[in-house]
Amino acid sequence: MKYDYLVVGCGLYGSVFARMATDKGKKVLIIEKRNHIAGNAYTEKIEGIYVHKYGPHIFHTNNRQVWNYINRFIEFNRYTNTPVVNYNGEIYSLPFNMFTFNKMWGCVTPDDAKKIIEQQKKQIKTEPKNLEEQAISLVGKDIFEKLIKGYTEKQWGRSCKELPAFIIKRLPVRFTYDNNYFNALYQGIPIGGYTKLVENILDGIEVKLNEDYLKNKAYYNSIANKIIYTGAIDAYFDYKFGTLQYRTVHFENEILDIPNFQGNAIVNYTDSQTKWTRIIEHKWFQFGKDEQDNVLSKTIISREFSKEWDRQDEPYYPVNDEKNNNLYLKYKELADKEKNIFFGGRLGEYKYYDMDKVMESALNFAEKELN
Ligand code: UDP
């Protein structure tokens, strides 16, 4: 018997859709080209530490429906993301808040911080056209130079003048003493890791790993009535209009026989000389303890490096500038004409989605599709 749905890709979008469809009595198969589930949220337990193999994932959302939904599958800890910046040995708090302003300028009150920013953004007279202008108009020139420019140019491999303004608007700017990186009602990390979370979402659903849909499209299309495709949209169309650009990252991981390397889960290196963008010390996502509350004696760190994506790399971040967005629209036009195949997720929609937004998109699509 044919499957009702073949889901291509076992990240959050595919897994949530598969769960919803299965719960509606549909017969579902998920195939995944890599050798593991959970997409880039994948975590691996090493020395009692859940290592975020594809970079730090901190679940946060304002959407109560999404939060309730995900909590059906796993318990979350109370981790709150409070990254630290290291700029040539000077330490600053993120996101941009009174602690940052105090360290940068010595100011104590919100009014004083606002006055300095007003002064420093005078050069921006019109609506910000790019990331640089947007950053300066939000937090002034000093913060742009020390905390944003080097990091952003390393992460994106492009000048801040060529990047879209929305990227920097992801970060809150606050005139309170609050180091919480996210403006989200709900936040945390799944206890037992993201792989466990996705395993639980997939309970009872057939999953085949190491299966590359694009290499055998005709066969896979023949075994299901409908396809949910969460891979890269340009790859699906064999790059016929050209490749969409992505950034990819890679990590140099080290297990260290010391209990504490940097005192925080994430330290960003915002100068332009240091080659890595940040160092992740995974144990702090779980407060330095294992699930039995034992203190972990070792630590694992990952230095993160960013580069332009090539066809053999894992795509991470879509480069949503105008050129790429226009190219995406051409692919989307083709995608909309396809029958019985639906494109979703960060790669399928070429969108800089956070995890909760991916889930929201999958839940909304499932509602429409399955009812
Ligand atoms: N950013 C920055 N300095 C930092 C951290 C972030 O300038 O220390 C900028 C950078 O341009 C980045 C954007 O803020 O691309 C969004 O950062 P976010 O943490 O949301 O990126 P992600 O979590 O997706 O890696």
Q: Would you call 152 helix, strand, or coil by DSSP? A: helix
Q: How many helices (H) and strands (E) does the chain have?
A: 13, 16
What would the pLDDT profile of 339-362 be if each residue is shown by its tens digit? 999 999 999 999 999 999 999 999
Q: Whose CA is nearest to atom 10 of ligand 1?
A: 152
Give the distance (Å) from ligand 1 centre to CA of residue 258: 29
- Counting from 1 in the atom list of ligand 1, the atom nearest the Cα of 55 is 25
Considering the chain, what is the average pLDDT of its residues? 97
Q: Answer whether residue 77 shows pLDDT above 90.
A: yes
- Counting from 1 in the atom list of ligand 1, the atom nearest the Cα of 352 is 24
- Which residue from 44, 72, 50 is spatially nearest to 359, judged by alpha carbons? 72
Q: Dihedral of the CA atoms 159, 279, 182, 368 (nearest 10)?
A: 80
What distance in Å separates the CA atoms of residue 12 and residue 322, rounded to the nearest whole number? 27
Give the distance (Å) from ligand 1 centre to CA of residue 268: 9
What distance in Å separates the CA atoms of residue 85 and residue 179, rounded to the nearest whole number? 12
What distance in Å separates the CA atoms of residue 165 and residue 337, rounded to the nearest whole number? 32
What distance in Å separates the CA atoms of residue 216 and residue 229, rounded to the nearest whole number? 14
Question: What's residue 210's pLDDT?
Answer: 98
Q: Dihedral of the CA atoms 57, 359, 324, 184 (nearest 10)?
A: -60
What distance in Å separates the CA atoms of residue 149 and residue 161, rounded to the nearest whole number? 10
**Predicted model pTM:** 0.96
Name the residue of 59, 167, 279, 306 to mutate for ligand 1: max ligand atoms within 8 A of Cβ.
167
Tokens encoding 186: 């709900």
What distance in Å separates the CA atoms of residue 234 and residue 308, rounded to the nearest whole number? 16
Give the distance (Å) from ligand 1 centre to CA of residue 218: 40
Question: What's residue 105's pLDDT?
Answer: 98
256 phi/psi in degrees, rounded to 5 = -115, 140
Handedness of CA 349, 354, 359, 360 (dihedral sign): negative
CB contact set of 293 (below 8 Å; sequence gap of 6+): none
Question: What's residue 80's pLDDT?
Answer: 98
Residues 246-262 have a mean pLDDT of 98
Question: What's residue 344's pLDDT?
Answer: 98
Question: What's residue 1's pLDDT?
Answer: 84
What distance in Å separates the CA atoms of residue 207 and residue 201, rounded to the nearest whole number? 12
The secondary structure element, H or E, covering residue 359 is helix 355-370
Residues 280-284 have a mean pLDDT of 98
Question: What's residue 278's pLDDT?
Answer: 98
3, 5, 278, 353: which one is catalytic? 278
Question: What's residue 36's pLDDT?
Answer: 98
- What are 2-5's contacts with CB under 8 Å, separation 24+? 2/27, 2/223, 2/224, 2/225, 3/27, 3/28, 3/29, 3/223, 3/224, 3/225, 4/28, 4/224, 4/225, 4/226, 5/29, 5/224, 5/225, 5/226, 5/227, 5/228
Question: What's residue 21's pLDDT?
Answer: 98
- Counting from 1 in the atom list of ligand 1, the atom nearest the Cα of 181 is 19
What distance in Å separates the CA atoms of residue 225 and residue 365, rounded to the nearest whole number? 17
The single-letter DSSP state of residue 135 is: H
The single-letter DSSP state of residue 240 is: T
Q: Answer whether residue 103 shows pLDDT above 90.
A: yes
What would the pLDDT profile of 159-197 be if each residue is shown by its tens digit? 999 999 999 998 999 999 999 999 999 999 999 999 999
Residues in the chain: 371
- Which residue from 88, 96, 102 is spatially nearest to 168, judged by alpha carbons? 96
Q: Answer whether residue 91 shows pLDDT above 90.
A: yes
